[in-house]
Each structure stands twice: as C-alpha cells, then as structure tokens.
Amino acid sequence: MESRVALVTGAAGGIGAAVARALGGLGTVVALVDRDGPGLAKVAAGLTAGGARAVAITADVAAPGEAERVVAEAEDALGPLDHLVNAAGVLRMGGAWELDDRQWAESLEANATGVFTMSRAAARGMVTRSSGSIVTVASNAAGTARAGMAAYAASKAAAVAFTRCLGLELAGHGVRCNVVAPGSTDTPMLRSMWKDATGPRTTLDGDPDAFRVGIPLRRIADPGDVADAVVFLLSDRARHITMQTLTVDGGATLGV
C-alpha cells in the first residue's frame, strides 16, 4: 500500500477517519473528504504530524458536480487514484410509515447517491489505467431488517447493489469493487441511537421487542476493526476478490 493514492470520504470521523489513519500508517498517500471542514482538518493534521502525506478536501459528495471536483482536486494534488473508499453516510431514524420526504431524501443522497457519484468519478481514471480498487462501507442493516431504520437500510442496500454491479462492469478493466458491512461500531452515529446509559448493554444483549439479536462476540466494534477489513480488500492480498461483502459485526446477523 506504500506510495499508493487513496481517497476516503466521510474522513472527518468514525470509520472514515479510522480508514484514513490505517492507510496513512501504511505509507499510502490519502485524500480526505468530508463536509465537516474543522473535523477534516484535525484528522489531516494528525496524519501529517505522523509523517503521512495527506490533503483535506471539504465537500458534500452527494451534491451535484462535487464528486468530479473532488477527484480532480485530489489527483492534481497527489496523483492518479489507486483506491476509493466510500465511507460517508448519515443516519435518519424513524418508522417506515412515519419518515418524511426530507429524511428519506437525505438518506439516499448521502448513502447511495454519494457512492454512485464518487465511484463514477474515480472509476473513469481507473479504467484508463486498468487498475484500481473501490470499497464501499455499507451496513449489516442492508441485508437485515431493522425497526426504525428503513431509510438507512434501504439506502445502504442500494449502495451495496450499485457497488456489486460496478464491480461486474469494471472487472474486465482490472478494477475491483467490494463492500464492507459493519454492525454496531463505536462511532458518533451509534452513540446517537443510545437514549441513556443502558445503550451499550442493549446493543450487546439485543432487543427482543425489536426482533433484534445481540452480538455473539460480546463486544462493540472499534472503528479500527472495520478499517482493517477495508484495507485488506483494497490491498493486493485481496487481488482475486471482487463483488463481495465482508461483514464485520461480531456475528450480530448470525452469518446470514
């Protein structure tokens, strides 16, 4: 991974930041993208202080035209992209029949449209170079029904289906496309779902009233656990893996 160029969206915090740090630690040159400018600058400063080469690009990847600008700016600063990690995402909670139009649209824009536009923009150059690797960070909710998470689950399922189709189309051009599907991970997004101090315990134990099992491994994932899976799929160690989903959820979906 040393000296390769990667672009990571959602890099201001959570899983995206962990991926950026993991890549930087391996000598990868990293373009960090997020709409949270101050948070992005903090992560970038930490990487450069540790000896990594990184550039921060503030952008909302779901906004029209932003993906093309981001890829062009990253490649102008760092060189042709070898890797893309789609880690940007939002969570809009609510019953499927109670969601308003804005909650639904925001979920699709960030979690699906952003994956589409960023992947499209990055793939064009990868195809001409006949090499590259794209990893989309989705969720185990993309394949398992979750009460109160219809918009999130649907948008993540769309991102998974798109990434697999992209992988099929780009395989002949030497570009691999895979998915990492985390379960409950210790990020601000997960903590926003906890109503009180019992949140972590409920996550581990599950909630029969919501038809949700707990986590068999009895731990909530660290963002680094997910980052390790992303880095593996980007790397040459996964050179014969494409169109696959690697679930990192401690067994919460029972291997289904």
- Tell me which long-range contacts 62-70 makes (C-beta under 8 A, separation of at least 24): 62/88, 62/109, 62/110, 62/113, 62/114, 62/117, 66/117, 67/114, 67/117, 67/118, 67/120, 67/121, 68/117, 68/121, 70/7, 70/31, 70/33, 70/118, 70/121
- Structure tokens, 177: 């496309």
Q: Give the span between the Cα atoms of 11 and 194, in whole angstroms.
A: 23
Cα 135 vs. chain centroid, distance in angstroms? 7
Tell me which residue of 191, 104, 199 sits closest to 153, measured CA to CA: 104
Pick the catalytic residue from 67, 152, 179, 181.
Answer: 152
Nearest to 186 by CA among 22, 18, 6, 4: 18
Could you tell me if 132 and 126 are in contact, meaning their C-beta atoms sit under 8 angstroms apart? Answer: yes
> Residues with Cβ < 8 Å from 237, sequence gap 6 or more?
none
Instruction: Spell out the residues 6+ positions from residue 72 whose beta carbon is closer than 8 angstroms to its own.
Output: none
User: Parallel, antiparallel, or unpaired: how do β-strands 5-9 and 245-248 relate?
Assistant: unpaired
* 153 given a catalytic annotation: no
Kindly calculate the radius of gyration of the chain based on its CA atoms and give it in whole angstroms: 17
Residues marked as catalytic: 152
